[in-house]
Chain A
C-alpha cells in the first residue's frame, strides 16, 4: 500500500464521519430544542396487564409477574430490586419471524440474529380509530390503505405500518380483551391487506394497539392469522400492545424497536420509542 492510497482513504473516512456526525449532531440539537419529540409507544409492564389467552389445554404465554428480592430490609439492607418473569409475548412486544411456522426456516429470523439496522425504521400510521370504535371486529382492507395513500402518499419501503385504533385507551382489562362466548373481538388487518403491505409495499412490519397483530377473530380468516402467516413468512416483524399511536403523525416518525437479545427468541417485551418531528 503506498502513501498516496492511504492518504485518499483517510480523507474519505474523515469526510463520511463528518457527514454522519453532522447528521447525528443535528438530531441531538433537534431533540434538545424540542423540534424532535421522543414519544413512548409502550404500555407499562404490570401483572394486571392482560396477556394473550389460548384455549386452556394449550401452552400459555405467562403474564408479567414480579417478586421483590429486597427493599432496604433484612433481605438486602441497602438496596431495592425485583425478579420478574413473563412470556416472550407479554405487554408491548416484538414478534420475530421465527414466532410463526411460516417463518421458521428463514435466515436471521430470531431476536438474536435479526440485523440490528432493522430495529430503526420509519413508520406510517393508519388511523382506524373511528372504524374500530364503531366495530370491534374492524378489518383493515387494501381499499382503506389506498385511500390513505391518496391523502398521505405511498407507503415507503421498509417502513413500519402501524394501525391506530385507540385500543390502548381501553384501560379496563375487560374492555381491552373484549371477550364474549365466541372469543376475542379486536381489530386487525384482513388477508389481502397483509399481502398488499408485504408484496406491494415492502413493509418491515405491522404494529397494532390490541393484543395481537391479527384481529381477535382472525382464527376464522383464510388462512387463520394472516398477519402472522404472511408477515413472518416474508421475514417481517410484528409489534403489538402499542400505545400513544394518536401522538404520531401519519408519516415522518422514526421508530426504535429493539427486542431483548434472547438466543433464538421468538420475540420479547421491549420499549418502543418514536422520534417525531414537531
Chain B
C-alpha cells in the first residue's frame, strides 16, 4: 500500500534550489499520437484498419500486414505484468535523481507488449495491471502500470507523482475567487489538500454573493489582484511568486454578443484585456519563478491552469467577442506551454462548455456546474492530463472538432 504523503518539511533556505531536469523527450511524429491521447487522459493505440492488429510502439505501418491504414482508437488498458525490475543506476540526469525506479514488461490484453513505469502498489510479476498513458515531466506520453483497482492514497506514489500535478500540500494561486467558478475552484482545491490558497480579488468594493464564505477556509488568504492592472500583477508576483506551486487562472470577462449585437468595441476590449492580456501579464510575472522552482522538493512548482472555453476552438457567434478572446487566450496558452515545458511545468487548458452562471442564463441545459468544472480541474491535476473538456457540450464539440472542424463551424453557426 502506498505510504500517504507526509506534510513536507519547510524548505532549508541555505541550500541551493535544484534545477529542473527532464526525462528524454524526443518523439517521432507518429509517436506523438500517444501524447495526444495522454493529454486528454485516454488510452489509445494504433489499430490496423485492414487486419485489426493493435500495435505498440507506434509505427508508420502495421507490423502484421504492412498496411498504412492505421488509426488511433481507445483500447482496453488491462494487461499482465510479465516481469519487473528495479533500476538502481542511470546515466540520465532525470532518473539519476529519482533512483531507485521500478519498470516492468506488460503484456496487454489487446495483444502487444510495452515497457512501463510501475506504480508502487503493483505487486511482483506476474500480476494484473491496468495501463495509463501519462504525460511525464517532459510533456511526453509514457506508459504507467497501475494496480487493477484504485488503492488508498495511490496518488501519493512517488513515481506517479512525477507524472502528475497533485495539489496536495501545494500552494495555489486562484486569480479570481469572487466569481462562482472561482469560489468553487477554491473549495475544490481546499478539499484536495492544497496547503495554502491565495485567492485574488479585484475591485474589492464589489461584493459577490458567497465569496466572503471562503474566508472560513483555513487555507484561504485573500490577495488583491486585478489582471488588467500590470502593477497589481507584478506586485503580487513580487510578494508570493516565489512560493506559488500552481496557478489557476479563473479571471475572465464574459459578455454575450457577437459583432452586430452591440455597438462599439468597449466590451470586446475589456474581454481581451482580462481573458488574453490578463493571461499574458500573469505569465510574464509568475512564469519565471514557476520555472525556477520546478524541482523544488516535494511541493515543487508544477502546473498552470487556464480556464478557457470550448468556444476557443470554434466561435459561438452568439458570444462571438468572448469566443475570440478565448481563442486568443488558447493561442497564448500554447505559447506558455512551450515556454514552461522545458522546466517540466505543465500547462493545463480547460475548455468547458457553457457554465451555469449568470452570463449563460438564457442558454438551455446542459450547462457545467461551477463545482463540476472545479472537480474536473482537480482531477486533471491529479491524473496529469493537460487538455480538459468538462461537460457534455464540450465533450461533444471536441469530438466533432476532432472529426471535422469545418463541419463544426457550420453546425455551430446554425445554432449548435
Instruction: Report A's interface with B, CB cutoff 8 A.
Output: 47-48, 50, 53, 57, 59-60, 62-63, 65-68, 173-174, 176-179
Contacts and interface: CB of A to CB of B under 8 A. Distances in A.
A174 B207 CA distance: 10
Contacts, number: 37
Given A173-B204, A179-B205, A67 B230 contact: yes
29 contacts: A47-B226, A47-B229, A47-B231, A47-B232, A48-B232, A50-B205, A53-B205, A53-B206, A57-B255, A59-B266, A59-B267, A60-B270, A63-B228, A65-B228, A65-B229, A65-B230, A66-B230, A67-B230, A68-B230, A173-B204, A173-B205, A174-B204, A174-B205, A176-B205, A177-B205, A178-B205, A179-B205, A179-B206, A179-B207
Interface string B225-251: 010111110000000000000000000
A98 B61 CA distance: 73
Contacts of A179: 205-207
Contacts of A50: 203, 205
Given A48-B229, A57-B255, 16 more contacts: A53-B205, A59-B266, A59-B267, A60-B266, A60-B270, A62-B266, A62-B270, A63-B228, A65-B230, A67-B230, A174-B204, A174-B205, A176-B205, A178-B205, A179-B205, A179-B207
A62 B272 CA distance: 13
B264 interface: yes
A176 B205 CA distance: 9
A47 B281 CA distance: 15
A3 to B, nearest CB: 63
B224 to A, nearest CB: 8
A63 B267 CA distance: 13
Contact of B264 (A53, A59, A65, A67): A59
A53 B229 contact: no
Interface residues of B, number: 16
Contacts of A177: 205
A275 B230 CA distance: 36
Interface in B190-206: 203-206
A62 B266 CA distance: 9
Contacts of A178: 205
Nearest to A177: B205
Contacts of A65: 228-230
Nearest to B207: A179
A60 B228 CA distance: 14
A47 B204 CA distance: 13
Contacts of A66: 230-231
A2 to B, nearest CB: 62
Contacts of A62: 266, 270
A67 B228 CA distance: 10
A81 to B, nearest CB: 14
Interface string B34-52: 0000000000000000000
A68 B233 CA distance: 13
A30 B19 CA distance: 67
A118 B204 CA distance: 37
Contacts of A48: 229, 232
B260 to A, nearest CB: 16
A50 to B, nearest CB: 6
Contacts of B228: 63, 65
Contacts of B264: 59
B299 to A, nearest CB: 32
A30 to B, nearest CB: 40
A62 B274 CA distance: 13
Instruction: Name the 9 nearest CB pairs between A and B, nearest first.
Output: A177-B205, A47-B229, A174-B205, A179-B205, A174-B204, A59-B266, A173-B205, A67-B230, A50-B205
A53 B270 contact: no
Contacts of A174: 204-205
Contacts of B230: 65-68
